[in-house]
């Protein structure tokens, strides 16, 4: 029986990136829908769950994407609410690539340092990718500092993370010049997840941190977030720190995206969200 992936995209035009990855991950057919909302998704879900027998539903799966992560999460909530009893199919959410990128970044760090008890700083932590990287770290027992230009926005994101991660050790911080020394103090892992083309720190600012062991910059658009990291860096050594750039993380991200998609067809009851995708990243290693 053919493996069918139904792509539900919250943007008007469904992402060609997500569609190509779906084919490369082994889907035999990809049905792509754009402009999908909680209000119009129910018939699409019914079409997925009412066409094949319950014991065949693992051959059909859903993928939620699009540039707006909040819209994607609202869609996921509606999709899972529409399932009932055995009438369900597996579903993955990776709006804006946020889950796979964040999980790949954290997994890159985990290759070099023990995340439990580690002191980490996520710059740009209020964005979709930074938020999820901080969430995955907090779930791994890392002591997370989540930074924004606004302490209020950082605090709001910390509240959201505490609501999903029991016993999270996470505190808000600011990345403005006045507070930077305090924000950087004692960190061992640095993940820069700022908007494209935003530089947070000069090379001297991060390379001179005595406690820093691993630095990861997810911004591929010049200037990069951490000056001196090349986008292609993959466990490169800069001033004694292990460094990854956006493309250096990209290989793991693509592998993770494909592996997670392939898992969707293992059974008909998986919900591959931030937590589940981070678990798959840890399995890949
Ligand atoms: N390698 C990959 O495969 C991959 C995949 C997806 C994304 N990415 C990259 O990952 C990074 C994060 O993505 P995202 O979608 O989460 O980013 P985003 O939402 O565009 O930005 C993240 C945060 O950056 C801060 N920011 C925005 N403009 C700023 C400025 N001028 N100065 C300082 N801070 C600023 C904002 O925080 P505050 O307003 O709270 O300060 C924002 O929440 C991006 O660089 C993106 O290109 C890489």
Is the distance from CB of 227 to CB of 203 less than 8 angstroms? Answer: yes
To 5 degrees, how large is the angle CA 227–CA 105–CA 176?
A: 45
Per DSSP, what are the bridge partners of residue 146?
A: 122, 172
> 274-284 and 98-110 are packed helices; what angle lies between their axes, rounded to 10 degrees?
40
Pick left, alpha or beta for residue 195 (phi over 0 → left; psi -120 to 50 → alpha; otherwise beta): beta
- What is the 124 CA–ligand 1 centroid distance (Å)? 6
Per DSSP, what are the bridge partners of residue 139?
A: none
The sign of the torsion formed by the CA atoms of 81, 86, 89, 93 equals positive
The tokens for 69 are 């992560």
- What is the 127 CA–ligand 1 centroid distance (Å)? 5
> Do 4-93 and 101-249 fold alike per CATH?
yes
Domain boundaries, the chain: 4-93, 101-249
Q: Does domain 4-93 have CATH number 2.170.190.11?
A: no
Q: Which of 124, 176, 172 is nearest to 152 (CA)?
A: 172
| Among protein residues, the one whose CA lies closest to atom 20 of ligand 1 | 195
Which residues of the chain have a pLDDT value below 70?
Answer: none
* SS (HEC) of 88-145: CCEEEECHHHHHHHHHHHHHHHHCCCCCCCCEEEEECCCCHHHHHHHHHHHHCCCEEE
**Which residues lie with the beta carbon below 6 Å from any ligand 1 atom?**
96-97, 101, 124, 126-130, 148-150, 153, 193-196, 198, 218-220, 246, 249-250, 253
Q: Report the CATH number of the 101-249 domain.
A: 3.40.50.720
> In the prediction, which pLDDT does 177 show?
86
In angstroms, rounded to a whole number, what is the distance separating the alpha carbons of residues 63 and 72?
A: 10
| Among protein residues, the one whose CA lies closest to atom 10 of ligand 1 | 218
* Cis peptide preceding 223, ω within 30 of 0: yes
| Among protein residues, the one whose CA lies closest to atom 42 of ligand 1 | 127
> In the prediction, which pLDDT does 271 show?
98
Tell me the pLDDT tens digit for each residue of 190-211: 999 999 999 999 999 999 999 9
- What is the 265 CA–ligand 1 centroid distance (Å)? 32
In angstroms, rounded to a whole number, what is the distance separating the alpha carbons of residues 232 and 248?
A: 5
- What is the 70 CA–ligand 1 centroid distance (Å)? 15
| Among protein residues, the one whose CA lies closest to atom 12 of ligand 1 | 193
| Among protein residues, the one whose CA lies closest to atom 19 of ligand 1 | 127
Please state the φ and ψ torsions of residue 170, each to the nearest 5 degrees: -145, 135
To 5 degrees, how large is the angle CA 141–CA 146–CA 149?
A: 180
> In the prediction, which pLDDT does 157 show?
96
């Amino acid at each position: 029986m053919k493996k069918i992936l139904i792509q539900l995209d919250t943007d008007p035009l469904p992402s060609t990136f997500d569609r190509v990855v779906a084919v490369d991950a082994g889907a035999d057919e990809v049905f792509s829908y754009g402009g999908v909302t909680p209000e119009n998704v129910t018939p699409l879900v019914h079409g997925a769950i009412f066409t094949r027998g319950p014991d065949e539903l693992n051959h059909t799966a859903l993928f939620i994407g699009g540039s707006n992560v909040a819209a994607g999460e609202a869609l996921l909530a509606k999709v899972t609410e529409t399932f009932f009893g055995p009438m369900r199919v597996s579903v993955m959410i990776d709006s804006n690539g946020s889950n796979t990128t964040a999980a790949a970044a954290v997994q890159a760090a985990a290759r070099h340092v023990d995340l439990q008890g580690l002191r980490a700083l996520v710059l740009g932590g209020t964005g979709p990718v930074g938020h999820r990287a901080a969430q995955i770290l907090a779930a791994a027992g890392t002591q997370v500092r989540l930074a924004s230009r606004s302490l209020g926005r950082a605090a709001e994101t910390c509240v959201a993370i505490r609501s999903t991660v029991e016993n999270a050790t996470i505190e808000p911080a600011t990345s403005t010049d006045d507070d930077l020394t305090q924000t950087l103090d004692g960190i061992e892992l640095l993940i820069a997840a700022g908007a494209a083309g935003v530089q947070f720190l000069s090379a001297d600012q991060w390379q001179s941190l005595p406690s820093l062991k691993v630095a990861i910059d997810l911004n591929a658009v010049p200037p990069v977030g951490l000056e001196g990291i090349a986008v292609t860096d993959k466990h490169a050594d800069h001033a004694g720190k292990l460094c990854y750039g956006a493309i250096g993380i990209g290989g793991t991200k693509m592998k993770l995206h494909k592996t997670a998609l392939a898992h969707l067809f293992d059974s008909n009851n998986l919900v591959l969200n931030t937590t589940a995708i981070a678990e798959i990243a840890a399995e890949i290693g």
